[in-house]
Amino acid sequence: MLNNKKIFCLLIVAVLLLFVSDQDCQASQLDISSAGGAVNVRTAWSVNAAHPGDQVVLAVVLQVNQGYHINADDRQLIPLKSIKLFPTKVTVIEADEGLLIEAPLYPLAAPYEVPYIDGKVMSFKGRTVVYLPVRLEKSLAGRKSLKLTVQVKYQPCSEEYCLLPVRTELEASLPIVPPDSVVEKTHQELFADYAHGASSESSDEVAFGLFGWNFSVDSSSFGGVILLLIIAAFGGMLLNFTPCVLPLIPIKIISLSYAAKNRRQCILLGVSMSMGVLMFWLALGTLIALVSGFSATNQLFQYPIFTISVGLIIAVMAGGMFDFFSLQLPAFVYMIHPEQDTLKGSFGLGVLAAVLSTPCTAPFMGAAAAWAATQPPLSTLAVFASIGIGMALPYFFLSVSPHLVSKMPKTGPASVLVKQVMGLFMLSAAAYFIGIGLEVLLSSPVDPPGKLYWWPVMFFLFCAGGWTVWRTLQIAVQKKMQYLFTGLGLAIMLVSGIGAYRLTHTGPIAWTYYTPERLAVAQQEQQTVVMVFTAEWCINCKALERGILDNPKIIELFKDERVLPMKVDITGNNPDGKAKLKEVGSLTIPLLIVVDAQGKEVYKSDYYSVDQVYQAVQKTLEKK
């Protein structure tokens, strides 16, 4: 029978255990020995000092001693039903003002078998380095040093048991020196695997590439920033030639053609539409600059309510092309009637054109937008304003050149045919956006998204081609016009039929869909990984996949067991895929990355060619 002294001791032990649990097993750096000497933690900077405006990297080094491992981070750790595992986590809990700190970059975890768990645990062993990229704002000029505090959580385990989770805090400081002072790299062995480069000298370089043509712009100089804004504007202009925006251009031409005789009215309509385009891009830049968690131009299309709403608006506008607006509809509908020659209607059409452009990324635009998202708000807004100005230029140019649109038929059967065909094109676009919204709602991150929505999209296109052929044969008088538009209609029918098959077919490549665990296994098996970042709403992604990756040369290359083709699809709620996109230093898609057997990035491009992909993969295979 227990006496009072023993009962008192048991109560004390119980209270202590509850206290440890409530405090999340808190331990200071000096308490690491309480984990049995399993892990030692320290920090190291990539340089011995930094200039204002530099990007530097802080390495958090967890030296896991022999006989132990620590659990992976929460994105790579597979939850188990039989036991609660605590992930490794590095968090900045305090930092000086003027520091832009990106998300921590964890190494690839490896599966580790232990006898007390049925299955494998994703773990880190040996020296484990977590990188924290840090950019210093220019406003830090005059400061002598920077300081931040990181909190490190981990759980050491051996082959037989797991120790209590440990939480430790480390303070790291770095001198800030004038721009003319020499900065040297330090601890280079720690940063050899850092994918994005730790040197401050290359942090201001913005790289651009297009099918093998590569160049970079130094954003640290005034001239470099001006050149970057010009490139962003050029990328914005190219957005008008992407499949996302093309259906709206004929509609605007029709609208301007009605005002072509009144030069002043034509210019005002063009300016109004241009302002609509610009205002949307400025609003998008404001979201990226000021709203936490909003970082990509195409992020709006990851919200089903937004995508479906856009589809419904386009469907309503298509109704206007068929003169359905003769019915009694709500007043707001008439404002977006394509034939309404009003400043409000033209402004709304400009906003809609800009909205439709966001699923696509034009050449050069992606790199500029990614750079802008890491800059102070004014720089971010300047880049997005440049994209908006570039996209608006063609509409403004059409409005000040009314002779370019004055020949558009305004009355008679030909005018009605043009409107009806444009209406069918818009119904196709409406089916696309509504289908995308439904796919985002229904898709699962691991499984490939459905593709059946492409059938109604292509059906309306097929109808547009068929109606063009039928009505042309009825109303065209000149043989030349009959042949021209009949051939155009037949071509649309052929393209829509081929598109319905190819876009719903799985294709010749056996893709593995990305998860951190699958990537870790591929690295463990020493495979070269070709990661393709894509989404169902990214038409450019599909064009590159069908035109470049479905090439017989690439298909044969991907059959090699040493190569793993992997898709990172961010169509639906896929936080792992979005985190990986940000980790590789991009905010937009399409994007392709080749990673060698050691996990090092050897090639990266948003617009690539067959030879570029083939040579990059072959280079990694020759090393083996």
User: Which helix (H) or strand (E) segment is 558 a member of?
Assistant: helix 552-558
Helix (H) or strand (E) holding 243: none
- The whole-angstrom separation of Cα 517 and Cα 576 is 11
Cβ contacts of 492 within 8 Å, gap of 6 or more: 461, 462, 464, 465, 468
CB atoms within 10 A of CB 238: 17
H/E run at residue 569: strand 563-569
Res 13: pLDDT: 43
- Over the chain (624 residues), what is each successive 10-residue block's mean pLDDT? 48 43 35 58 92 89 90 77 81 87 83 73 88 85 88 89 89 90 84 54 58 66 83 83 65 59 74 87 81 61 79 77 54 50 75 75 69 75 89 80 57 71 83 84 72 88 90 82 87 89 82 86 87 84 85 91 90 76 75 86 85 89 72
For the chain, what is the radius of gyration of the CA atoms? 29
* Cβ–Cβ under 8 Å, residues 314 and 426: yes
Say what the pLDDT of residue 247 is. Answer: 61
User: Tell me, what's the pLDDT at 566?
Assistant: 93
Bridge partner residues of 110 (DSSP): 123
Which whole-number Å values give the CA distances from 416 to 185, 320, 351, in the listed order? Answer: 69, 12, 26
Specify the pLDDT at position 38: 87
Q: Where are the beta strands (DSSP E) in 299-403?
A: none
Per-residue confidence (pLDDT) for residue 137, from 0 to 100: 83
- Written as six digits, the tokens of 464 are 């547009």
Cβ neighbours of residue 22 closer than 8 Å, sequence gap 6 or more = none
Q: How many CA atoms lie within 13 A of 224 on its CB side?
A: 13
pLDDT of residue 299: 65
Its pTM stands at 0.57
The pLDDT of residue 260 is 52
313 and 604 Cβ atoms separated by less than 8 Å: no
162: phi > 0 → left, psi -120 to 50 → alpha, else beta; which? beta
| Largest interatomic CA distance in the chain | 113
Which stretches of 221-287 are assigned E, i.e. beta strand?
none
Instruction: For residue 41, give Cα distances in angstroms to 104, 155, 443.
Output: 16, 13, 40
pLDDT of residue 253: 63
